[in-house]
Structure 1
Amino acid sequence: MSCTAEKEAPSIGLDATLSDEVIEYTPFFYMPNLEDVQMYNKGGYHPVHIGDILDGRFEVVHKLGSGGFGIVWLCRDTLLNKWRAVKIMTADHSAKGTEEKIFSYLRRHCSPAELERNHILLPLEQFSLLGPNGRHLCFVMPVLGWTISSWRLLRKDYEEQTHDDTRSVCRQIIESMHFLHSHGICHGDFKPGNILMEVEGIDDLDRDEILSLMGAPECYDVETESGQPLTPRAPKYCVTSANEFWCEKLTTNSIAIIDFGESFFTATPPISTGIPELYAAPEVLLQGYGTLGPHSDIWSLACTLFEVRTGSPLFGDVVSGGYSNVTSKFELFLGPLPPSRYQTSSGDMRGSTVKNELQSDTPGPDEFAEDRAELIEGSGYSDIFEALLGAEQTAYLNVHIAENVEAIKYRYPEEDVLGLADLLRRMLKYDPEDRITMETVISHPWVGKTRKGNAGTDSGRQRETPKLYLYLSIFNKRILC
């Protein structure tokens, strides 16, 4: 259905007049670009419609994205005549004030130029909305482009420019984390989805031009499971997010780090964070592996660097996700997962001290030794990181025209392979104390050196199965068995 402009719901006193009963809504199945409609309850999302005016100034034009902590809306700043991204936090998360504390600290201790130089994006301003589901903190941000993952998806890995661009972006990512850690801040949710590409020229576009790029908002009616009429807690409809490739022609090669909802100060680490398993360190996933801290960010950074450089997640799985698969991938790369060093009865990892009962330090059998050896064998490299990074890979062009399909073989330069593999090995250690710090990461030769040579393309060689696919097939075989 088409979206129609709605007047913004009254913002005073609604939370006091509505029942606290949780309302069940008819879910939107298989609609990844829609928010979780069940979060339109007390403590959850603020209901918004296209055409609403937020804080008497920001006109809602489209939706840019949503997550567990809030929804980001594309708005026209009617005062400055500029495009802005307004992030409306859930009421529950607003009450915690996590991001606000981090932002306040950075504003007090860092200049805008310093933040920009280190790729840290802070709100231009903020305000609050009081609505039917509670009080919501709202951050006004510049409009950014696609995630680093979407940017990487369109890079051609066999082209020399892609190698230069990904190395440059990796350097920016490392600089951003080094900056945060130098100020005693851990991001807590460091992943490609929280790294966006900056855009330029967006304020030169009018409404019609913006919508021609993003697509017109598509809206889907919200209905209750009971069939009862909607209360003010929910909007009349949910809006699909803008086409993620809208910004292709406006994108720069500069990044911005976003979403500090899981961030914390080094001196006061939480028990855990909500970071996805693909990027979570062992101490985040498993009890008894240590407290959270900068070392947890280091693990997440390593996973992110691999994904940005290669276009594939390090611990990803093409068959199924889940905790057991991720930890099995740990063992494929790093050997048997050691027993947790301490037993705890409370489940609070910060309670793991030397006063608890020590467990055996002897790891279990190496169930992935054969698979690891198979990946390394014949690669010309000495370990699994080098073998995976150095594997010959194949890109297929013109796949939509069967008779014109072209296969391009390529490898990463050996210097690149050896450098990144060494860096990853030093960052991905089971014991948090064994991981290198950001000071060592940023001074590593792979981070500072400019890539030499080319991608080693060779379209005339016999077609072979790339080691990357061998790696995936071996692991998936183990999972399915």
Structure 2
Amino acid sequence: MSFDSSIEYRWIDGVERLELYEPGGYHPVMVDDYLHNRYRIVDKLGFGGYSTVWLARDETLKRYVAVKVGISSSPIPRREIDTLQALQGSKLRSQAGLDENACAIFPRILDSFHVCGPNGTHTCYTLTPAQGNLKEASFSRLFPKGVARALAAKLAIAVAFVHSRGFVHGDLHLGNLLVKLPSTFDDLSIPQFREKFGEPETVPIARVDDKPLTPNVPAQAVIPLYLGKKAQEFTLADAHGLILNDFGEAFRPAAEQRLGRDCHTPLATRAPEALFEPDEPLSYPSDIWNLGTAIWEILGMKFIFSEGETPDQIVAQQTDVLGSQNFPENWRKQWERLGEHGDDANNMIPRRPTRDREAWPALENAFEQFVQKYRRKREDAGTFGEEEIEAILELMRGMLRF
């Protein structure tokens, strides 16, 4: 599969990159297709770099499932299946020393199979479907204080459980945190589902050169359906239904190396060791850093570090918030080196920005500006008391350590 930047299809907002419908890439799936002679495609739930995700009706067991259809050239779908099965293994579960209910925090593999198509052979697997992810739910919104506490606690339990199995999740952020659907969801027939959620939103696919589409590409793109609710509508029951999703980047540090340069976590939440030590293996601490940034985002409205910045700007924000006195000396030497990017072998490693920039507030002030200020504006959200704020800040200092 080629990952060149050529544009072959007219742009459609909110869908996967259409150029990846090619040999080695995505499998063309359409609404009402049947996969494995059993799963009727109802709508699209989402997509990623290695798969598309569909809501389907299991015509054998009369229930809804999420079907992940992997690209044909990647081992990641198979790796995710193996990881989830290892996490859910009964022998390991009995040895974990953690609440057995922790297994309910992960997607459960219901079935796995392969489909063959014009772009190759694709690993597919079905899971219990979910409402949607916390990133979508919390966009410009706040979770009620009690719900935010419960979500943070549930996530910490999930990460502890993953680490107790010897795995690093490798991609912790709110986009990979889902919430279970109510048990009554399976009772909906497809016509009832359509009446409640509407028809699939589709857009015809067209080539920029107006040539006919090849069989590699579906005739229509499907805009993902959001089944969830807004953050302010979340209840404690929703929080207890949290699911830690997407184990495609997971790895076992004892069995395999994952170098910093191969970290695909969003830059705003990426652990600094992945930036300053790109040729060194990552391990559990990188997950803990991601856990800290995820908890902050659950509690507040604004990221602790901003999205859409360069590595240089992100690290500058990290030193603003956490204090440059805590910066490791070997990183400091690289951070303060002179010159511009591209002039040495270390041009991937961040360096202190030379241009003027807006300083980020220190941790205590950041909590006031990014969390408390927004909560005061929404009476139903609730603010944190002084004692709890101190506990949260101490937690952040422990997790967000250079």
User: Which of 272, 277, 280 is equivalent to 1:287?
Assistant: 277
Displacement of 1:325 in angstroms is: 2.9
- Per the alignment, residue 101 of structure 1 pairs with 82
Specify the alignment match of 2:342 in structure 1: none
Question: What does the per-residue CA deviation read over 1:180-210, in whole Å, with 9 as the maximum and x for residues that have no partner?
Answer: 0011000000111101011112112222332
Q: State the alpha-carbon separation in 2 of the partners of residues 213 and 45 from structure 1.
A: 29
1:72 counterpart = 2:53:
yes
**Structure 2: runs of 5 or more not aligned:** 335-350
Query: Among 366, 387, 395, which residue is 1:423 paired with?
Result: 395
Write out aligned runs for 1:19-418 (5 A).
25-29=8-12, 31-32=13-14, 34-94=15-75, 97-108=78-89, 109-111=91-93, 114=100, 117=103, 119-153=105-139, 162-200=144-182, 201-245=184-228, 252-253=238-239, 254-267=241-254, 268-271=256-259, 272-287=262-277, 290-317=280-307, 320-336=308-324, 338=328, 340=330, 371=359, 375=361, 383-384=364-365, 387-388=368-369, 391-393=372-374, 411-418=383-390
* 1:225 CA displacement: 3.3
Greater Rg by CA? 1
Looking at structure 2, the residues matched to 321 and 206 of structure 1 have their Cα atoms a distance apart, in angstroms, of 45
CA change 1:387–1:96 in 2 (3 A) is closer
Gaps spanning 5+ residues in structure 1: where?
1-14, 16-20, 345-362, 377-381, 398-406, 431-481
Amino acid at match of 2:176: N
SS at match of 2:131: coil
After superposition, the C-alpha distances for 1:152-191 in whole angstroms (9 at most, x for unaligned) are 458656xxxx111111111100000000001100000011
Q: 1:11 — aligned with what?
A: none
TM-score, normalising length: structure 2: 0.80
Secondary structure at 1:124's aligned position in 2? strand
Contact 1:61 1:76 in 2 (8 A): yes
TM-score by length of 1: 0.68
Indicate the SS of the match to 1:419.
helix
Q: CA deviation at 1:142?
A: 0.9
Paired amino acid for 1:230? L
Deviation of 1:275 (Å): 1.2
CA contact (8 A) 1:94 1:135 kept: no
Distance change (3 Å), C-alpha of 1:213 and 1:25: farther
* Count of residues paired in the alignment: 371
Q: 1:419 to 1:249 in 2, by over 3 A?
A: closer
Alpha-carbon separation, structure 2, partners of 1:219 and 1:163: 37
Q: Runs (4+) of structure 1 moved beyond 6 Å?
A: 246-251, 363-370, 407-410
Any conservation in 2 of the 1:144–1:198 contact (CA below 8 Å)?
yes
1:301 Cα deviation after fit: 0.3
- Inter-partner Cα distance in structure 2 for 1:95 and 1:155: 33
Identity %: 25
| 3-state SS of paired residue (2:41) | strand
| 1:393/1:219 CA distance change after superposition, 3 Å | closer
Secondary structure of the equivalent of 2:109? Answer: coil
C-alpha deviation, 1:335, in angstroms: 3.1
